[in-house]
Amino acid sequence: MSNAYKEKSMKVLLMIVISVLIFSTGSVFADFQGPGAMNADTVAHAEKLADDASVTLEGHVVKQTSYKNYLFRDKTGEVHVEIADDVWRGQVVKPETRVRLTGKIDRDHDGIEIEVYRIDILTKE
């Protein structure tokens, strides 16, 4: 195999990998935003929505209640959230750290819990 052929093959492979990454992550958290949208932006609003509704909350993870389970607080109230180890992405979050949680409502007979898909640090205080 010639070096030119190897180089061209590597460029094609790189383009395929980049394309897969771009197109596979772009719509993971896509959601309709407009009239009738079922996306809560506060704890108080989340408590009123149905199971599996989307949430994007800003506030503080104030304490760990058990493995993968935490108490989250915003200006409107508190809610239990489930955050898997991989969702933290190596970020260090303290109770005074302001974060944005993206996930969905998990509603059962005991109330709601938020299953978190993504956590972003907004401010480190």
pTM value?
0.71
Phi first, then psi: give them for residue 7, nearest 5 degrees.
-65, -40
Fold of the 39-123 domain: OB fold (Dihydrolipoamide Acetyltransferase, E2P) (2.40.50)
Q: pLDDT tens across 8-46, in order?
A: 777 776 667 666 555 544 445 555 555 455 688 999 999
Calculate mean pLDDT across residues 94-109.
95
- Whether residue 108 is predicted with pLDDT greater than 50 in this model: the reply is yes
Number of neighbouring beta carbons within 10 Å of residue 71: 15
Give burial (CB, 10 Å; 0-12/13-18/19+) of 85: exposed
